[in-house]
Each structure stands twice: as C-alpha cells, then as structure tokens.
Structure 1
Amino acid sequence: MAPYPTKTEIELFASSLGTSDPSPFFDRVSPNVQAFDHIAAANDLAARTKNLDSLQFSEAFHSNSRPPTDTSSADWKTHALGTINAVLASPLQLRVKNVVGGGDQPWAVLELEADATCKNGMEYAQRYAWVLRFDEEGIVVQARAYLDSALVQKAVDSNA
C-alpha cells in the first residue's frame, strides 16, 4: 500500500470541490496547514495570502522567496474562493482535470478548472494548479495555489 493518497484517491476527494459540499476535500486538510498562493499574472509576481483565492494580499514576492504562511484549515475552508464567489452569478464549481503525483510521493499537483459567469455577464474561465504535500496519514499539510490573478482582478473590478 502506498504511504500517501494515490492519484485515484486524490481525484475522488477533490471532486467534492465541484459540489455544494466540499467537506470531503477539506476534511483531508490539517488544522495547521501551511498555505500560500503563487498568483500568476503577466508580471510573474505572486502574492502570499492566508487564504486560497482571496485578494487580501499581505505582501508581493517572487515564487518561493519566502516560507509559507501558517493558517488553519477552518480559515482556508471559510475563505477559499470567497472573493470570486462574491462577484459570480452562482458559486464556483471546480472540476478536477488531472492529478500528478501521490502514491509513493508526498507531493501531488491537483489541476482544476472552473467556468462561470460573473453577475455582470463577464465569462470567468479560471484554471488552477494546487500543489499539495501530504503526511503519511494522507492529510494535506502544505498547499500552494497557482491561478490567474489578472482574471480575478478583472472580474472583481468589473463587478464592483
């Protein structure tokens, strides 16, 4: 048996991110998860936050130049996708496109996509890569999220 969740296991619990009950995914997140975002934009800068997909930037930095921010799984769950969901016509539904890693490796990349419409009619086609590190109990202890921040900002600005 593999010491870490397999690709199939990760696909299964991550698929809950596209439902009204994402708890199967968040139940696999440590209460003391280290989470931070690498926000991809034209200038290739990233911003460190305590919450995935929030725009409450604490400071700008280049990828991997600083250690992750400690946060709680409750904080992550509460605020994940909160900023963008406020401007969408309906809550964002994430779909799993691919999983790389897992099984005999502690790290896995979860490729996600979401196609939605903003309240003003703007199309919102976002792509994500979540890089996850699991402990030997199969719990996410570290997470990095990569996404198109220019798209998020455009959606927020045009729906203010």
Structure 2
Amino acid sequence: MAPYPTAHEIEEIFFHRINTEEFHSYLADHIDITVTGNDFNISGKFKSLEEFHNKIYVRINAAVKQETLRLEVNRVIGGGESPQALSPTAVLQLMLHRYTDKDVLQWAAVEVHYECESKEGRHLVYETVDLVRFNKEGKIFQMKSFLDSLAIHNLVEEHEKAVADGKREHGPVAPNAWAHTKDTPQV
C-alpha cells in the first residue's frame, strides 16, 4: 500500500470493520476520533485506540448477535495517489494552492450499510459515514463518524437495560486486541 491508500484499498479496510482486531490494525496508535451526536450514548471525542474501542466497539458488540452481523461498503470517495481521482472542486483548489496534494489525498469518505440482529431479537439496519485521514504509514489517524445515532442508541440502551435488570448476562464480546486489559468494561 502506498502512503495513501486507494479507494479500493480503503474499501477493503472498511470491509474488515466487523472484525475488531483486523480493523484496529489499520488505525494509528495515536488517533483522533469523533463520533457525532447529541444526547447519544456513544458519541464523543476519543484520543486513543483503547478508549475508542472500549466506549464504542465493546458496547455495540455486546448488544449484537455477532453471527448475524453483515456489512456492505456502499461507497468510497477519495483516497489514492492520483489527482484524476479527485473531484473537480478539489483539483481547482489544488491549482489555486488552497490545499497541497498531500492534504487532499490523505482524506476519504466511506459509506457503510450494516444489518444484524440484536441479542434482544430485533432486526437492525443502520448506516455510517466516516471521514478518515491517513498518515504517511497508510494508517487512519483521524476519523469523524456519522452514525445512525437513534438506531445505535436504542440498540445499546436496550441491551444495557436488560443487563442491568438481570434479564440478560453481558455475554461474550467479539475478540479484540484489548481483551486482556483490566480496564475493558464488562457490559
């Protein structure tokens, strides 16, 4: 992979998003992640991969029957090493010296469609759009996620309420690189 992955390589990276350990191998150790949303139980700013994992992945994965989780990368915009892949506006901005080649080629937008079943038996369909920025090693070091916040909020809240009420054990969470840490929350 060249310093900045192509659209096809970015699609492959996001195809692995449901495999926590695999997807996290594409993220830089020092990462800046924003999950958008107001009054949304997993929104926030995360400055480490471990914090992002514990606040997002653990909680969502605990609420989902992992064997039912499917995703489809609908669209990747950006990436690559060639200005031919850029929009006409980006090319114009490059020509006007508002951005450097490096600034534009580091960024991509990724649209993903998910379907799964919650541990409470509800069929769930949701979509995400991630704006991602790559470092010179080809790893994501900045990400802003736009989620179907109501669907995910309801999924997580429903599961955590069932656990709190004793109706459900937290159950196994998908394998991850931090399963051995004492700080991994039990949901």
Gaps of 5+ in 1: 40-44, 48-54, 59-68
Trace 1:23-34 onto structure 2 (pairs within 5 A): 23-34=21-32
Cα displacement (A) at 1:128: 0.5
Q: Give 4+ residue runs of structure 1 displaced > 4 Å after superposition.
A: none
Cα displacement (A) at 1:34: 0.4
Gaps of 5+ in 2: 82-104, 162-187
Alignment RMSD, CA only? 2.6
Instruction: Work out the percentage of aligned pairs sharing the same amino acid.
Output: 26
Q: Report the Cα distance in structure 2 between the residues aligned to 1:46 and 1:3, rounded to whole angstroms.
A: 37
Q: Report the Cα distance in structure 1 between the residues aligned to 2:157 and 2:42, rounded to whole angstroms.
A: 14
* Correspondence for 1:84 among 60, 64, 79: 60
Report the structure, 1 or 2, having the larger strand content. Answer: 1
Q: Report what 1:15 is aligned to.
A: 15
- Change in 2 beyond 3 A, CA 1:7/1:148: same
TM-score by length of 1: 0.70
- Change in 2 beyond 3 A, CA 1:94/1:78: farther
Q: Report the Cα distance in structure 1 between the residues aligned to 2:34 and 2:39, rounded to whole angstroms.
A: 10
Answer yes or no: is 1:147 the counterpart of 2:147. Answer: yes
- Change in 2 beyond 3 A, CA 1:121/1:25: closer
TM-score by length of 2: 0.61
Q: Secondary structure at the match of 2:63?
A: coil
Trace 1:29-44 onto structure 2 (pairs within 5 A): 29-39=27-37
